Chain A
Amino acid sequence: MGVGAPFELLFGTSLALLAVGLYGIVSRRSLFRMIISLEVAFNAGNLSIMSFVARSRSLDPLGRSAVLVLIATEACALAVMLAYLINAYRTFKTIDPSKLRRLRW
């Protein structure tokens, strides 16, 4: 196996990244930081796939190509999120989502 890091370390890191990302989304009061946390949570999934790839003896090419496709997909979603961020800032003059409270019940 041509892998540097052991599976447990990689998978543990991916779990930690997921936790950090989800915590960031819940706790931050800025849309920008929320988007960064979202990216961290996304990459937790990618790292987790890669950790399983590293565990397999053949370094499964399917898993590796899937990660590339997933990264590209997330980049598209990220572009739209940033467009929303700019639009929200121009319209509301704030990027604090807790200040957007006109729609309730």
Chain B
Amino acid sequence: MPSVLAPLAPLLASAILSPFLSRVDGFSRRLRAGCLASALACAASLALMLAPGGLLWLAVDGQPAREGPWFYVDGLSAFFATLALTVLLAVDLYSYRVLRAEDLPSAYFSLLHLMACGLYLIFVAGDLVTLFVAWELMSVSTYALICIRRSNDLALEAGVKYLVMSAVASSLILYSISLLYGYTGTFSYTAIREAVARMCDPRAVWVAVALMTAGFGFKSGLVPFHTWVPDVYQESLDPVTAMLSGAASKAGIYVLIRVYYTLVPDPRLRVALALLSAATMTLGNVAALLQSDIKRLLSYSSIAHMGYTLMGVASGTALGIVAALFHALSHALAKPLVFICAGCYAQAAGSRRLESLRGVGRGGGPLTLSMVLGLLSLASIPGLSGFMSKYMLIASAFQAGLMWLALLGIANSAVGVAYYVRVIQCLLSRRGSAGAGPAVKLPPDLVALPLALAILCVLFGLSPEPLVRYLALAAAQLSG
């Protein structure tokens, strides 16, 4: 049975060793070696998660959560860790195309994999100090990744904004950890849970939970702490944006589920999540309507999807958790897909503005097909995974008696369809400057990547039962 640390080993090894690949002669050979080594390491970690007896099977085998001196692994952690590794694999492969266009520091893959190590440790951490250290590992690698392209001043500006906000959030999180330690005398999840259950007046803990929600809300871009998200997503390299929106934003959801279900399982507190969810999805969708830059539009849509996912967490039912996990999965498949495709189109058209992208998708073949499928999945069109997950989210809000939230969710979905369809219309338009130009062509080995993600979107949309059954087991483990 692979241990909890086993999937971390290939990631860490590749992060430490990949800078040495800069000694390989020739730019393209060096790049190919770096990309191959990173993708192989990531695939090895994924294989260790999926191997018989691996962490992903914890929930299926009906084992209790695995605990140790510093880790706490249950179905929820295993699911999120697998999700993050899948996104990392796609990002590793796609990085090849972006890096071929420009010579970036050899630390690129190293930083990317350190960020993934941080993510993995967040998902398996069993006490608050480990969680904080893992979160800082992820953040510090992200700071460096955002402005890795030195020629881009705007990325530096976005990085400065992110840095300041993220550091404020870290100090709030640290203070809330210290308060929880003060109330309970321990850092470990299970001991805190027991201590909070014993307290006669748990309201003292609410201050700590509020600080923690604000801190992790900052980091995962919930309204009103979202202002850095569009700037950073817009100006980072495409693979970095895909990683941030596909995997890193899920870490915030994971921690909020942990705090509100494992540490302080108090239903009265979840009203705060419902309010955050309503604000986040509404602002994200409305702001996305006004955008003219395709990456900025997609970043606001990321904010909106964080809001939808929180709807399930706020509902507090088992269905809500299952729906939130399912939606995290469909977003983690579709968002990297559309960011990757948008990057290809923007490179072909020489601009990210929607007007200059007119007609650029015509004749794009498999690339355009997967982009359209990804956008339709985000717009939750029936038959794709985004529809199933959002349907379950809204059902869970109704079930929990949050009628207003469910109706707001439906209204927001309608707004969402408007801007996703606008993007599709732009890409396929007959008129336009790029209409006469050459269609985007990816090398055949890279076309497989967006196509694979699109196929997964369709697959989980058409037959969600096995996945939902698995997620139900994970959710049962969480409450039990």
Taking Cβ atoms with an 8 Å cutoff, the residues of A that contact B are 11, 14, 18, 21-22, 25, 31, 34-35, 38, 41-42, 44-46, 48-49, 51-52, 55-56, 60, 62-63, 66, 69-70, 73-74, 76-77, 80-81, 84, 87-88, 91-92, 97, 100, 102-103, 105
Contact = CB atoms under 8 A, between A and B. Distances in A.
B136 A41 contact: no
A76 B140 contact: yes
Nearest to A88: B160
A66 B156 contact: no
A34 B164 contact: yes
A47 B132 CA distance: 16
Where chain A touches its partner, the secondary structure class is helix
B153 interface: yes
B158 A38 contact: no
A56 B185 contact: yes
A25 B168 contact: yes
A66 B175 contact: no
B265 to A, nearest CB: 23
Contacts of A25: 164, 168
Contacts of B144: 80
Contact of A102 (B129, B154, B287): B154
A48 B143 contact: no
Contact of B133 (A52, A69, A102): A69
Interface of B: 129, 132-133, 136, 139-140, 143-144, 147, 153-154, 156-161, 163-164, 167-168, 170-171, 174-175, 177-179, 181-182, 185-187, 230-231, 234-235, 287, 290
B181 A42 contact: no
11 contacts: A14-B178, A22-B168, A22-B171, A62-B186, A62-B187, A66-B187, A80-B144, A80-B163, A84-B143, A88-B156, A103-B235
A21 B181 CA distance: 21
A52 B186 contact: no
Contacts of B133: 69-70, 73
A73 B136 contact: yes
Contacts of A22: 168, 171
B111 to A, nearest CB: 11
B375 to A, nearest CB: 22
A77 to B, nearest CB: 6
For the complex of A and B, the 3 pairs showing the least CB-CB separation, nearest first, are A45-B174, A41-B171, A48-B178
